[in-house]
Amino acid sequence: MSPKQPSVNPTLNAHETIGVGALLKALREAKGVSLSDASARIKFSVRQLESLETEQWDSLPDGLLLRGMVKNYARYLEADMDAVLLQLESQVSGVEAPRPVPKNLSSASTRGDTALYSERQSRSWGWWLIILLVLLVAGFYALDRGWIPESWLVFDWLKGL
């Protein structure tokens, strides 16, 4: 008895690659998931998933919407999302390619993330200051109008306002 040889698809040459739609379809079928089950899980219609698997790009949204659809479908099928999105970029023009991020670096250690984080903190502090100022003005206005009972005022100097 001879050992089994791995099956080779004779229709693909070494230079040809399988399309994104065919890849997603093969992954879905390998997992034993029906189109209706996948549709119910990721909230895209069966027609949209069929169009994606058959690579009918004209009946699908363009740009980031298509990228998001492919990303969600690949995530559901537990595929390498970055590889699928790069393949989509090479197959369809007009889709924004993802920017690869090294997986061994933490998000806080990259220069861009650190700058965004410190910028967010300074803006947050500014908003808190504006909110505090508005509350103080509203409080003094309410005191001036007599809307606040004197029993609530703990400082004597507030009662004179």
Three-class secondary structure of residue 11 per DSSP: coil
Give the mean pLDDT of 13-37: 81
The reported pLDDT for the residue numbered 2 is 45
The reported pLDDT for the residue numbered 20 is 87
105 has pLDDT over 60:
no
Strands (E), the chain: none
Cβ-based neighbour number of residue 85 at 10 Å: 21
30 has pLDDT over 70:
yes
Three-class secondary structure of residue 48 per DSSP: helix
The reported pLDDT for the residue numbered 29 is 92
Determine the Cα–Cα distance for residues 3 and 154; give it in Å rounded to an integer: 91
The reported pLDDT for the residue numbered 120 is 52
Percent of the chain with pLDDT over 70: 68
Three-class secondary structure of residue 103 per DSSP: coil
Burial class (CB in 10 A: 0-12, 13-18, 19+), 98: middle
- The answer to whether 108 and 117 are in contact (CB under 8 A) is yes
Percent of the chain with pLDDT over 90: 15
Residues 37-82: pLDDT tens digits?
988 998 888 999 998 899 888 888 888 888 888 899 899 999 888 8
- The answer to whether 69 and 44 are in contact (CB under 8 A) is yes
Confidence band of 132 (pLDDT split at 50, 70, 90)? very high
Residues 109-121: pLDDT tens digits?
444 444 444 455 5
Determine the Cα–Cα distance for residues 103 and 95; give it in Å rounded to an integer: 23
User: In this structure, is the dihedral angle defined by the CA atoms of residues 116, 122, 124 and 130, taken in order, positive or negative?
Assistant: negative
Q: What is the pTM of this model?
A: 0.50
DSSP summary character for residue 109: G
- Pick the more confident residue, 158 or 114: 158
- The answer to whether 118 and 108 are in contact (CB under 8 A) is no
Determine the Cα–Cα distance for residues 52 and 46; give it in Å rounded to an integer: 10
